[in-house]
A and B are shown apart, each in its own frame.
Chain A
Amino acid sequence: MIGAWGALGFWVLATLANVWLAKRFSHNRLVQLFIPALFGVTLLVLWEGIVRGLNVSPVILPPPSMIGARIASSLPMLWTDFNQTILKGALSGYLMGCGAAVAVAVAVDRSPFLQRGLLPVGNFVAALPIVGIAPILVMWFGFDWQSKAAVVVVMVFFPVLVNMVAGLKATDALQRDQMATWSASYWQGLVKLRLPAAMPFLFNGLKIATTLALIGAIVAEFFGSPTRGMGFRISTAVGQLDLPLVWAEIAVAALAGSAFYGLVALIEKGVTFWHPSQRGRA
C-alpha cells in the first residue's frame, strides 16, 4: 500500500510543480519540454507504485521497471524483430503500396473509364477484413517478410488512392484555364500544377497509412512467419505468459509508429509549407 500512496503523493507534487512552472516560465523553451516530460514520468511512477503497492500480478500488468529491464536484457532480439517487421515488412510494403496508389491515382484521374472501374475495386479490396486476407497472402508469398509487405500494400493502398484522386481534382477552373492559355501539355499541367496542388491531400493519406502499415505487418505475422518478428514474438510470448516481453514489443511498436508518423509529418511540413494549415508553424 505504501508504494501506491507514495505514487499518488508524487503525482500531486508533480502536478503542482507543473502548474507552477507553466505559470512562471511558460515562454522558456526548456520548460516547455520539461512539463510534458515530467507528466510522462508521473504516469510511469503512478503505474509503478500502484502495480507494486497493490501486488498486481505481472501477467495482468507488469510494472514499467520490469518492462524496462526486459527491454534492456533483450535488445538484440528486439532489434531483430524491429528489423524483420518494421523495416522489411512495414516500410517496404508502405513504399510499394503508396507508390502504386499514387501511380494508379494519376491513371484514374486521366481516364474516366478507370475511375469507374478501378475505384470500386479498390474500395472492395479495402473492405476485405485483414484477418481474412493475411493468411491467404501468407500462402501466396511465403512466411518471410514478403507476405507481410503484401498485407501492408493491401492496407495502405486504398486510403492513399482516395486521397490522391481527391488531390488531383483540387485545382480550380481558373488555374486550368491559365495552363491552357500557355498551351501547356497534359504532363506539364500535371507536374507544374496538379501534383503540387495534390500534396496536402496526399500527405493526409500517407499519415493515415503509417499506422495501418504497422498494424498490417504485425498482425500478418500471427498467420505464419519465421521465428522472428514483432507479431511472432507477441503471439509466442503470450503463450508463455511472458507478458513483460509482450509489453516490451508493444513499447517498441509504439515508439516506431510515432517516429514513422513524425517523419512523414516532418516531410509534409517541408513539402506543403505553403498550405494555410502549415504556414507560420516553422
Chain B
Amino acid sequence: MKDMSSPPVIEAKGIGLIFQTDDGPVEALKDISLAIGRGEFVSFIGPSGCGKTTFLRAIAALEHPTSGTLTVNGMSPEEARRSRAYGYVFQAAGLYPWRTIAGNVQLPLEIMGFSRAERAERVRKVLDLVDLGGFGKKFPWQLSGGMQQRASIARALAFDADILLMDEPFGALDEIVRDRLNEELLKLWNETGKTIGFVTHSIPEAVYLSTKIVVMSPRPGRIADVIESPLPRERPLDIRDSPEFLEIAHRVREGLRAGHAYD
C-alpha cells in the first residue's frame, strides 16, 4: 500500500518553531525535514521536550512554524484541516460527559454538517471498527479508560480522514490494555490504509507499530535518526521477541543516546 512514486502526504522542509515565553524565546523545533508517504505508519519518539508533540500539532495547524514550509496533501495545514484531511487523537480521550458514546463520535459529523442518516450510519460503522458496537448508548464515565480511548479513536475516524494523527493515545493506559489496543490499531491501519502519525514515549510501541520511526532529541527539538522498519505489515504480538525487532529497538535506543536524550 505504501507508494513511493506518489508525492508525500506530509512534507516538512526546514521547519523551525520558536515559542515566545516569559523566560525568553524557546526553540521547540529546529530544522525538521521529513516526508511521509501515503499509507505509512510513522512514530515520533523521544524524551519530553524533544518537540514530537509540537511537530504533530504543527501538522494539525494547532501550532504554527516560525520558519520552513510544511504541506499536508500539498496544501497548508490550515487548508488541509478545512478539507478534513486528518483526524486527531489526543493524550486524553476528552469525551463530553453529557453525550453518549455515539453522541460523542458523531460530534465532529454534526459540526461538519453530515445528514442525520449518514451520521447514524457512520457512527455504527466506526464503533464496530473499534469493537464498541454495543456501547453507543453508554456515557463515557460508565466505561473504562481503554474503552474511552477507543471511542476517541472512533471519533477521529468518523469523518473518514486519510490521515490519523495520534499524540500518545495510549500513554495513560496500563501495559495489558495498551498491548491489545496496539494490536487493534495495526489491524485498523491494515484495513483502512490510512497514513498515521503517532507520538510515543515507548520504544517497543514505536517499533511494533511503525513502518518508519523518527527519533528526536531535545533542546532544541530536532531529528536524531529516521529508521525505516524492515518488519512486515502483518505483525503478531510475538514479533517483539524476534531478532529483527530487537535490532531496531537497539538502534532507536542508540539514536536517543546520540541525541543526549538520557542527559
Interface residues of A (CB under 8 A from B): 174-175, 177-184, 188, 192-193, 196-197, 199, 272-276, 279
Q: Check B88 against A183 for contact (C-beta < 8 Å).
A: no
Cα distance A184–B111 when bound, in Å?
A: 6
Q: Check B62 against A177 for contact (C-beta < 8 Å).
A: yes
Cα distance A174–B60 when bound, in Å?
A: 13
The reply on B92 being an interface residue by CB < 8 A is: yes
Cα distance A273–B96 when bound, in Å?
A: 12
Q: Check A192 against B107 for contact (C-beta < 8 Å).
A: yes
Cα distance A175–B62 when bound, in Å?
A: 12
The reply on B172 being an interface residue by CB < 8 A is: no
Q: Which 8 A-B pairs have the closest CB atoms?
A: A274-B97, A274-B98, A181-B88, A182-B108, A184-B111, A182-B111, A196-B98, A174-B94
Q: Check B60 against A175 for contact (C-beta < 8 Å).
A: no
Q: Would A183 and B82 be within 8 Å (CB), given that A174-B90, A175-B94, A275-B97 are in contact?
A: yes
Interface size class of B (residues with CB under 8 A): 20 to 34
Interface residues of B (CB under 8 A from A): 57, 60-62, 81-82, 84, 86-88, 90-92, 94, 96-98, 107-108, 110-112, 139, 141
For B139, the closest partner residue in chain A by CB is: A274
* Among A183, A193, A276, A279, contact of B81 (Cβ-Cβ < 8 Å): A183
Q: Check A174 against B62 for contact (C-beta < 8 Å).
A: no
Q: Which residues on A sit within 8 Å (CB–CB) of B84?
A: 183
Cα distance A184–B98 when bound, in Å?
A: 19
Instruction: Kindly provide the distance from the CB of A261 to the nearest chain B CB, expressed in whole angstroms.
Output: 23
Q: Which residues on B sit within 8 Å (CB–CB) of A192?
A: 107, 110-111
Most buried by A among B62, B81, B111: B111
Q: Which residues on A sit within 8 Å (CB–CB) of B82?
A: 183
Q: List 27 A-B contacts (CB under 8 A).
A: A174-B92, A175-B96, A177-B57, A177-B62, A177-B88, A178-B88, A178-B90, A180-B61, A180-B81, A181-B60, A181-B86, A181-B88, A182-B108, A182-B112, A183-B84, A183-B111, A183-B112, A188-B111, A192-B107, A192-B110, A193-B96, A197-B96, A272-B98, A273-B98, A274-B97, A276-B141, A279-B141
Q: Which residues on A sit within 8 Å (CB–CB) of B87?
A: 181
Cα distance A178–B86 when bound, in Å?
A: 12
Q: Which residues on A sit within 8 Å (CB–CB) of B61?
A: 180
For B82, the closest partner residue in chain A by CB is: A183
19 additional A-B pairs beyond A177-B57, A178-B88, A273-B98, beta carbons within 8 Å, are A175-B94, A175-B96, A180-B81, A181-B62, A181-B81, A181-B87, A181-B88, A182-B108, A182-B112, A183-B82, A188-B111, A192-B110, A196-B96, A197-B96, A199-B98, A272-B98, A274-B98, A274-B139, A274-B141
